[in-house]
Amino acid sequence: MREYNFDGLVGPTHNFAGLSPGNLASQSHGGEPSHPREAALQGLEKMRFVAGLGVGQAVLPPQPRPSLRTLRALGFTGSDEEVITRAARESEHLLRLTSSASAMWTANAATIAPSSDTADGRLHLTPANLSQMFHRAIEADTTHSVLRAIFSDARHFAVHPPLPPGSHFADEGAANHTRLSTPGHAAVHLLAWGRGAWHDVAGPKRFPARQTLEASQALARLHQLDMRQVLFPQQHPDGIDAGAFHTDVLAVGNGAFLMLHELAFVDHPGLLQMLREKLGPDFRAIVATTAELPVQDAVRAYPFNSQVLTLPEGRMAIVAPVESRETPAARRFLERVVAEDSPVTAVHYLDVRQSMNNGGGPACLRQRISLTDAERGAITADVFYTPALHDSLAAWVRRNYREVLRPRDLQDPQLARETMTALDELTRILKLGSVYDFQQ
Ligand code: SUG
């Protein structure tokens, strides 16, 4: 089994629209000009760095934006250009909602269970319905098509449809999922959530909780996990109210290691006790208290939204955003993780500021998928990272992406045309086939 980090390529309409209440970075950068080309190149540099550590790396494509399909479904008619002009005239906000490049945060694309953990021995994938936020909910259908195209071999892969839409089964994908494992013990899946659809639990007061307990339970069933190996911890309501809209803002785990803030989960001591019982003495957790790392610093600097990567020789490295190096409490915490008795032996700080300014750190930008050699061999799309793929993607970005996007540029019908041209080219580079509606 080898883990591949499937990073989302940042789309050509990357912009700051202030669309996510409860996501403080999105709220505070809304309305600023964005730099799509720089954003996409920062993402590619991260992939190059992770691949350079000897870790499996792959890519997932962006989605067509503005979403003409959504605008047409809402009654705008005519040519593509007319649809955009009419929608802009009706509501600039609707155009913002349908233009986000938010599919770049592929941690939210799906939840995945590796074949080692499922009853039928296949890798299970469920695209997230992202029901809680309209601009993200419109990702689900295309994500489903893309995953079906890449994981097409039904002998190895089960690609489920997204959970039913609506608020009851609101699902945010792997941003709330952590798989932990120790030698000699079955892996444990943490499927976290922030609110109950019909389970009566106290939730946050200020900001929305996105994922429901009922959605997490459905994922465990669909993926045929052994229920003795699944825990459903609740995200701490105070953490959500401080800006931790997803679990991965305050916790990250890999293999035998979990690092978390004390406001990540309700009753974290109880959770860690259960994990010790299930995973044995090799399990190692490091908790940051509020005194050590104020939750505001954790939310601003995203030390937990790091990638914790197992290196080929078995040690672990953390890939953190540069904001964590610049924030003393966050940096001291990560340095403690390395200094203490933990499997982590290095921290690397990378610049993904364009994504960070919308609330997406290194961990948001990737979906972890562990594949056996046979499963890897069953994937024919050209999505696995190589230096040659890097070069062709970087050239593709330079050819197709604008340097700057200002809020009013979203009204330019030419932007949609440019995006379609770029994505059409990309599906050929990645050998994906026709996955987008405009290609049908
Ligand atoms: O869903 N931001 C994303 C950030 C997702 C981060 N993902 C994880 N934590 N795994 C969100 O809130 C902002 C878009 C805007 O405001 O323009 C946005 O959608």
Give the position, in ligand 1's atom list, of the atom nearest the Cα of 107.
Answer: 10
Burial class (CB in 10 A: 0-12, 13-18, 19+), 399: exposed
Contact predicate 241/206, CB 8 Å: yes
Q: Which active-site residues does the annotation give? A: 172, 246, 364
Q: Between the CA atoms of 118, 119, 120 and 121, what dihedral angle is there, to the nearest 10 degrees?
A: 40
Contact, 129 vs 172, CB < 8 A? no
What's the whole-number average pLDDT of the chain? 98
Q: Is residue 308 part of a domain?
A: yes
Q: Tally Cβ neighbours within 10 Å of residue 118.
A: 17
pLDDT of 137: 98
- Where does the pLDDT of residue 17 fall: very low under 50, low under 70, confident under 90, or very high at 90 and above? very high
Alpha helices by DSSP H, 153-212? none
- pLDDT, tens digit, 9 for 90 and up, residues 130-181: 999 999 999 999 999 999 999 999 999 999 999 999 999 999 999 999 999 9
- Asked if 169 and 111 touch (Cβ cutoff 8 Å), the reply is no
Residue 25: predicted pLDDT: 98
Structure confidence at residue 234 (pLDDT): 98
> How far are the Cα atoms of 148, 366, 371, 427 from residue 220, in angstroms, in the given order?
20, 21, 19, 32
Structure confidence at residue 217 as a pLDDT band (50, 70, 90): very high
Torsion of CA 358, 326, 340, 305, to 10 degrees: 0
CATH number of domain containing 17: 3.75.10.20
Question: What phi-psi label fits residue 121: left (phi over 0), alpha (psi between -120 and 50 degrees) or beta?
Answer: left
Instruction: Please check whether residue 35 is in contact with residue 403, taking contact to mean a CB–CB distance below 8 angstroms.
Output: yes
Instruction: Give the tens place of pLDDT for each residue, 369-408.
Output: 999 999 999 999 999 999 999 999 999 999 999 999 999 9
pLDDT at 372: 98
Which string of DSSP letters, residue by residue, matches 200-243? Answer: -----SSS----BHHHHHHHHHHTTB-GGGEE-PBBPHHHHHTT
pLDDT at 160: 99
Query: Domain limits at 34?
Result: 2-65+100-439
Integer Cα distance of 439 and 426 in angstroms: 12
Identify whether 419 is part of a domain: yes
Strands of 144-196, DSSP E: 157-159, 177-180, 188-191
Q: Of 19, 111, 247, 250, which is best to mutate to test ligand 1, by the most ligand atoms within 8 angstroms of its C-beta?
A: 19
Locus of tokens 């995200």: 235
Ligand 1: distance of its center to the CA of 358 in Å? 6
CA of 208 to the centre of ligand 1 (A): 13
**What integer is the mean pLDDT of 409-435?**
97
Q: pLDDT digits over 175-216, tens only? A: 999 999 999 999 999 999 999 999 999 999 999 999 999 999
What would the mean pLDDT of 58-67 be, rounded to a whole number?
98
Burial of 185 (0-12, 13-18, 19+ CB in 10 A): middle
**Whole-angstrom Cα distance, residue 158 to residue 168?**
23
Confidence class for position 119, pLDDT limits 50, 70, 90 = very high
Torsions phi, psi of 348, nearest 5? -120, 135
In a domain, 79, yes or no: no
When pLDDT is averaged across residues 253-277 and rounded to a whole number, the result is: 98
Q: How confident is the model at residue 10 (pLDDT cuts 50, 70, 90)?
A: very high
- Residue 250 falls within a domain, yes or no? yes
Max intra-chain CA distance, the chain: 64
Domain-embedded: residue 93: no
Band (34; pLDDT cuts 50, 70, 90): very high
SS3 of residue 265 by DSSP: strand
The CA 302 to ligand 1 mean position distance, Å, reads: 13
Q: Which of 301, 280, 385 is nearest to 24 (CA)?
A: 301
| Radius of gyration (C-alpha) of the chain in whole angstroms | 20
Q: Is residue 173 part of a domain?
A: yes
Contacts of 388 (CB under 8 A, 6+ apart): none
Question: In this predicted structure, what is the pLDDT of residue 15?
Answer: 98
State the amino acid at position 77 in one-letter form.
T
Please tell me whether the peptide bond between 321 and the residue prior to it is cis, using omega within 30 degrees of 0.
no
Q: Ligand 1 centroid to 397 CA: how many Å?
A: 22
- Three-state DSSP class for residue 394: helix
Q: Per the domain annotation, does 82 fall within a domain?
A: no
Task: Give 267-322 pLDDT, tens digit per residue.
Answer: 999 999 999 999 999 999 999 999 999 999 999 999 999 999 999 999 999 999 99
Cβ contact 144:161 at 8 Å: yes
Asked if residue 80 is part of any domain, the answer here is: no
> Using N-to-C axis directions, what is the helix angle for 80-90 and 413-429, rounded to 10°?
130
Q: Are 405 and 34 in contact (CB under 8 A)?
A: yes
* Domains held by the chain: number: 1
**Threshold 0.85, pTM exceeds:** yes
Which backbone phi and psi does 124 adopt, to 5 degrees? -105, 135
Q: Is 184 exposed, middle or buried (0-12, 13-18, 19+ CB in 10 A)?
A: exposed
Q: Whose CA is nearest to atom 8 of ligand 1?
A: 364
Say which residue the tokens 């032996």 belong to: 345
Pocket of ligand 1 (CB under 6 A): 16-20, 23, 26, 30, 100, 102, 105, 107-108, 133, 136, 175, 246, 248-249, 358-360, 364
Q: Which atom of ligand 1 is nearest to the CA of 102?
A: 19
